[in-house]
Structure 1
Amino acid sequence: MSSSAAPSGLARLRTTARSLAAGGAGPDPNRRTRNRPRRGDLLAVKLPAWRSKLLLFGLFCAFSALSLRVIYLQGGWSTGFLQRQGEARYARTLPEAPTRGTIFDRNGVVLASSVPARAIWANPDDFDANAKQKAQLARLLEMTPEDLRRRIANDDRSFVYLRRQLDPEVAQRIEALHISGVHSTKEFRRQYPEGPVTSHLLGFTNVGERGLEGVERQYEGMLGGQPGLRHLIEDRLGHTIEDDWLHEPVQGQDIALAIDDRIQYIAHAAVKQAAEANLAHAAAAVVLDARTGELLALANWPDFDPAHRAQFDLNQVRDRAVTDMFEPGSTLKPFSIATAIENGVVRPDTVIDTSPGHLTIGGRTITDAHPHAGLTVEQVVAKSSNVGTAKIALQMPAQTLWETLTAVGFGQVPQAGLSGAVSGRLRPASTWRPVEQATIAYGYGISVSLLQLAHAYLVFARDGDIVPVSVLRRSEPAASVQVLSPATAAMMRHMLELATSDEGTAPAARIQGYRVAGKTGTARKMQDKRYTDTYISSFVGFAPASNPRIVVAVMVDDPRAGRYYGGDVAAPVFGAIAAGTLRAMQVTPDAPAMQVAQAAVPGG
């Protein structure tokens, strides 16, 4: 059995060899395992051809989309969003302050100017400083490290001011710290060389150099100019890589005021001295050029230093000469008398019976401080008789007196170019009862400002005409309005000069070498619609009486040193201001040197 099996196996091998030699496949010795999968066949997964092509196409589309997006972004089409996002992180638009205009007095003296300063600001996102740098920065900024931390940490903006109007030298020391995210910008700081002397007149600006009060506010359009804008681009380290102007600043214009710095100093010193000597609540003075209407001085007390805004007090900042209203008292009497003379009701020598020193009208009694018998119209003015003035006023229609008061500016805002000017209070004549007509004639029932009062007296200092007040220096004469005849104005100058004589209420207003004219005023203050025992003492006059060059108005509010009559309190202030002003203007004296009276007759 074994011998037969061996030959058959040999025969198969021979057959296979011959098949291979002939190129045939030969018989499969393992025919029984022909359909069993081999190991290599298990790892080979055959996929449909369309699936591989789809995958290749998808990869091609994705690559193409990315390529197009890169070209789209790099080519600069519709990249506004990305630019905005980039600029929000690395671009700044910074305001560039213009140089504010300088304010000069009439002689070219600088009253207000702007000096270079620096603003320190930071980008909280870029701020990076160690503990030592933070401490040094806080010290230079004059704040505590904790304040500095809060300023930067609590601000969600990309721009925050750390300090404004810093000295350039300090700003340089801050820049030398090389703190990332901290920068400085040029700006200006307003300076007032005269300090409190011109404070109410000039006013002041805020930290951004925008006028808030006085001349600074009134002429903001001229002085302020227009700020510029800078476009700043920085790298991620805070270094500036691009700095371009969006538009450059328009510098402010200089202006020349009518103020004379010397006269302003004289007025301020006199007002301050009077307020302190009389323990007064406040005081003010106005000086006008009688020929041009220009404002030569305007002073108030209490005053303030415009360079120290943090110490401001409303009681100090208020420009009382322009904004405060008060009943003028006897300083209004000359207008009532002038109206009566102008309309032929009385003459200067007309005798008015003022006895027994009081007059009852509609249940109300008008009294004189000192009873008199018969007084001429001149004496009514000189001795400041309420009864005499009331009797003269009642001889005229109320409308006639109202027209004169309106013509000289009462009840209207003065067009003087001063911020905060008020119109006062003058009711229509149709509403006046007889008693009101009488009291208005001597200064009660009407409210005025000191500026209005000084302006109105121009009609007496001039030939019956009046010009507007101007805080700016005039290059040409202003147009005037005729209110009284020159003859009436001359008569009133004579009467007002008598008021400063020994027989009048204001001999203390006289000054050596010059003839002066004017009128005192003493008016009770009203509170809660009732008159109190507090007073406004005033005096308005002009000099030289023979050819007036200046008008000076003085008001002392609530003197408490024992005296309150205008002749005692306000008239000496007029004398001090007028004397210094006439000398500063080099006005030729019109009278021989005389001994200034030491005492005044009470009244007015």
Structure 2
Amino acid sequence: MIFFPYVKNIKKKDTFAAKKKRALLIYSFVICIIIALLLRLTWVQIHDFEFLIHQSNIRSSRIQLISTRRGNIIDRNNNLLAITFQVYNIFADPKFLLKYNDIKNDQKIKKLSYIINLPLSELLNLIYKHRNKRFFYLKKDINKKTSIAIKKLNILGIKIQEKSRRYYPYNKITSHVVGFADDNGQGLEGIEKSLNTLLSGKHGKKIVYKDPYNQVFEEKILTKNIPSQDIQLSIDQNLQKIMYEKLDMAISSSKAKSGSAVLIKIDTGEILAMANIPSYNPNNINEAKKDAIRNRAITDIFEPGSTIKPIVIMAALQQGTIKENSIINTLPFNIGKHTIKDVKTYQQLNIIDILKKSSNVAISKIALKMPISKVIDTYSKFGIGKITNIGMIGENKGFNPINKKKWSKLEIATFSFGYGLMLTPLQLAQTFSIIGNHGCFKPLSIIKVNHQVLGKQVFPQKYVDIVLKMMEKVSLPGGSGFQAATKDYRIAIKTGTVKKINKKKRYVNKYIAYAAGVAPVSNPYLALAIVIDEPTSEKYYGGLVSAPIFGQIMQRSLEILNIKPDIF
């Protein structure tokens, strides 16, 4: 056997060379990968920079609204009727809280329990109870001082939520005018709803950046908010309070279902007071009955009864159907199977006594001598069947049958003493405001008026003033509105009583009692309408139920407004 010793050495050299070659290849491959990664990283940083920033922002930023303070609502004398104040809610993120805090031994947690007046054991139990949740309230409606103390503790997982809360200082007294807003700052009733846009303003937007611990480290404004506006109403809170209290007493004493009253400043058309019973407390809306929330003064319509008779007299005077010295036979008379009669039978009455005694017989005979179109047109001129446009949502325009073509004699007769047409309490007050303004219409306003209001003469002053003087006799002894008389001021008034109509359109033995008028007669300053729905006591006539409260409200209102007495 031949042996070649150098062959073994050659194989060792070849093996080493191969290994070295493979190692170089591996090293080269690794270096190429590293270079490729570095090149890719550089490429990404240069070309995808904005994309990466955007993705990072998505994970660490949130867009939030910049809220505006809801505007205040004030009365004409700057008394606050609705105001917003801040409250604070404390909430916890249990998972975050347990992860980053030793809650059993942390002195900050002990201080927190003391600040929120919650025993430490109860606080710990609450946290453990909600350990799998990311949110629960620890305490609601705390004040600013307490919230600052909690914020200073800087406990990871404990947050403070700021909330706006609406408050109504006069609650039930002004609730139907002011209305209310919900917890999100949206007006739901009254002025809060109808002027919600002005009261709310417009929220701005900001972007908030948070760190991994959910703490805000930067904010940027995207859009600025538009500030809200305060609203000044025409309402006089002093008069509003008097009206509400007197109306409430009248409803209680007459055992009535409900009642409404409206007071108007004649020369400007401003509504100084508007009240309804029943009412509700807007500070505790969850306990309010649905039926009590409705603003009956603008939503509910009734046949006005005898309160409309002054308008018929004016129309007849202008038409020439009657004169100031006319005498009307007031004995009962028949229209078909129906008898038109008065509560008390009179042989005959002059025009003044027709209003003073509120004669259905006389007013029917007068209306039957006129074209029905004349009566309808005159009603319309005094605002009947037209919305007042005071801007409050839900206002009813009432009903005046301007399109009715065929009329029976009975329909004309009853139309003249207030059946077959419908008014809201607000419209009734407006009608008498026009009378008090000598036939001049001025738009009504629930917002304070700071300028002279131009009016429109809708009916000749001559005839309006004649009837105005006649209406004064109604408040004198022997008149249906005698109980409205005041000690210091001359009153021009008309009362009324009507039967109610049910869902089957049949009249039932339920009544509505009215009183409407102006004062002082020498220079009318205020117009007032009172509507009492379904008085159930023995007294249900307007002259007995509504007239007394009319006089009480009118007397006190004129005194407060420093109007000079005209009874000497």
If the TM-score is normalised by the length of the shorter chain, which range does it land in?
A: 0.7 to 0.9
Matched, 1:391 2:365: yes
Q: CA deviation at 1:294?
A: 0.9
2:472 matched residue in structure 1 = 497
| 2:60 aligns with one of 81, 90, 98 | 90
Q: Return the letter of the residue paired with 1:444.
A: Y
Distance 2:452 2:378 in 1: 23
Match of 1:11 in 2: none
Summarize the Cα distance change of 1:72–1:207 in structure 2 as closer, same or farther, 3 Å threshold.
farther
Which residue does the alignment assign to 2:304?
A: 328
**Percentage identity across aligned positions?**
30
Instruction: Write the distance in 2 (CA, Å) between the matches of 1:87 and 1:400.
Output: 74
1:332-411 → structure 2 map (5 Å cutoff): 332-356=308-332, 358-361=333-336, 363-411=337-385
Query: Does the CA-based 8 Å contact 2:82-2:166 persist in structure 1?
Result: yes
Q: 1:87: how far off?
A: 4.0
Query: 2:443 aligned to 442, 461, 468, which one?
Result: 468
- SS of corresponding position for 1:457: helix
Moved more, 475-484 or 465-474: 475-484
Paired position in structure 1 for 2:432: 457
Alignment correspondent of 2:502:
527
Partner of 1:193: helix, strand, or coil?
Answer: coil
State the distance in 1 between where 2:494 and 2:129 align: 62
Distance 2:355 2:130 in 1: 67
**Structure 2 residue 235 is the aligned partner of structure 1 residue 265:** no
State the distance in 2 between where 1:121 and 1:501 align: 68
Q: 1:274-353, aligned counterparts within 5 Å?
A: 274-353=250-329
In 2, the alpha carbon distance for the partners of 1:365 and 1:38 equals 145
Identify which of 109, 112, 115 aligns with 2:85.
115
> In the aligned structure 2, how far is the partner of 1:483 from the partner of 1:396?
19
1:562 maps onto 2:538 in alignment: yes
CA contact 2:399–2:422 (8 Å) conserved in 1: yes
1:77 aligns with 2:48: yes
Picking from 394, 399, 408, the partner of 1:420 is 394
Q: Deviation at 1:403?
A: 1.4
CA distance in structure 2 between the partners assigned to 1:173 and 1:76 by the alignment: 48
Please list, as runs of the form range in 1=range in 2, the aligned pairs for 1:507-546 lying within 5 A after superposition: 507-528=482-503, 529-546=505-522
Give how far 1:490 is off. Answer: 0.9
Pick closer, same or farther for the CA change 1:162–1:333 going to 2, 3 Å. farther
Equivalent residue number for residue 219 of structure 1: 195
Q: Please report how far the alpha carbon of residue 414 of structure 1 lies from its aligned counterpart in structure 2 after TM superposition.
A: 0.8
Q: Secondary structure at the match of 1:532?
A: strand
Whether the 8 Å CA contact 1:229–1:247 is kept in 2: the answer is yes
Q: 1:238 to 1:334 in 2, by over 3 A?
A: same
**Distance (Å, rounded) in 1 between the aligned partners of 2:126 and 2:245:** 42
Q: Is the 8 A contact 2:97 2:156 kept in 1?
A: yes
Task: Give the residue type in structure 2 aligned to 1:542.
Answer: V
Superposition map of 1:471-482 within 5 A:
471-482=446-457
Shift of 1:30: 2.4
- Give the distance between the partners of 2:114 and 2:288, measured in 1 at CA: 28
Question: Partner of 2:460 in structure 1?
Answer: 485
Range moving further from structure 2, 569-578 or 226-235: 226-235
Contact 1:138–1:145 (Cα < 8 Å) also in 2:
no
Distance 2:428 2:324 in 1: 23
Question: Shift in Å at residue 148 of structure 1?
Answer: 9.3
Q: Compared with structure 1, are the counterparts of its residues 170 and 536 closer, same or farther at alpha carbon in structure 2 (3 Å cutoff)?
A: farther
Q: Do the aligned partners of 1:399 and 1:430 also contact (CA within 8 Å) in 2?
A: no
Q: What is the identity, as a one-letter code, of the residue corresponding to 1:207?
A: D
From 417, 431, 440, the equivalent of 2:415 is: 440
Q: 2:34 aligns with which of 63, 78, 93?
A: 63
Q: Which moved more, 1:295-304 or 1:247-256?
A: 247-256
Larger radius of gyration: 1
In structure 2, relative to structure 1, the CA distance for the partners of 1:120 and 1:572 (3 Å cut) is same
* Aligned partner of residue 180 in structure 2, secondary structure: coil
Matches within 5 A, 1:66-215: 66-75=37-46, 77=48, 79-80=50-51, 83=53, 85-118=55-88, 126=96, 128=98, 167-172=143-148, 175=151, 178-215=154-191
Contact 1:97/1:187, CA 8 A, preserved across alignment: no
Whether contact under 8 Å (2:94, 2:127) holds in the other structure is no
Query: How far apart, CA to CA, are the structure 1 residues paired with 2:501 and 2:132?
Result: 54
Alpha-carbon contact 1:391-1:438 (below 8 Å) kept: yes
Q: Is contact 1:279-1:559 (8 Å) kept?
A: yes
State how 1:567-586 maps to structure 2 within 5 Å. Answer: 567-586=543-562
Task: Kindly indicate whether the alpha-carbon contact (under 8 Å) linking 1:327 and 1:444 is maintained by their aligned counterparts in 2.
Answer: yes
Equivalent pair of 2:328/2:348 in contact (CA under 8 Å): yes
Please identify, of 312-321 and 447-456, the stretch whose mean Cα deviation from structure 2 is larger.
312-321
Give ranges in structure 1 of 5+ residues lacking alignment.
1-27, 593-604
Q: Is the 8 A contact 2:115 2:150 kept in 1?
A: no
Cα deviation per residue 1:52-111 (whole Å; 9 max; x = unaligned)?
99877765564344324423444473644x555544543222222212222222222222
Instruction: Calculate the aligned-residue CA RMSD, in Å.
Output: 3.6
1:520 aligned counterpart, secondary structure = strand
Partner AA of 2:489 in structure 1: Y
Q: Secondary structure at the match of 2:88?
A: strand
TM-score (norm 2): 0.87
State the alpha-carbon separation in 2 of the partners of residues 423 and 147 from structure 1.
Answer: 56
Q: Distance in 2 between matches of 1:445 and 1:218?
A: 31
Residues 213 and 147 of structure 1: is their aligned pair in 2 closer, same or farther, counting only changes over 3 Å?
Answer: farther
2: CA distance, partners of 1:504 / 1:235: 82
* Superimposed CA distance per residue, residues 86-137 of structure 1 (whole angstroms, 9 cap, x where no aligned partner): 4454322222221222222222222222223335567788565888869969
**1:351 offset after TM fit, Å?**
2.1
Q: In structure 1, how many angstroms separate the alpha carbons of the residues matched to 2:128 and 2:443? A: 56
Corresponding residue number in structure 2 for 1:236: 212
Offset of 1:564 from its aligned partner? Answer: 0.9
C-alpha deviation, 1:590, in angstroms: 0.7
- The 5 A counterparts of 1:10-29 are 29=2
* Aligned twin of 1:7: none
Q: Which amino acid aligns with 2:502?
A: Q
**Once the two structures are superposed, what CA deviation does each residue of 1:21-54 show, in whole Å capped at 9, x if it has no partner?**
xxxxxxx8426x99999996998896998x9998
CA distance in 2, matches of 1:235, 1:587: 67
* Deviates further, 122-131 or 500-509: 122-131
Q: CA shift at 1:297, angstroms?
A: 0.7
Q: Within 1, Cα distance between the matches of 2:127 and 2:205?
A: 27
Give, in whole Å, the separation in 2 of the partners of 1:513 and 1:562.
Answer: 30
Of stretches 280-289 and 347-356 in structure 1, the one that deviates more from structure 2 is: 347-356
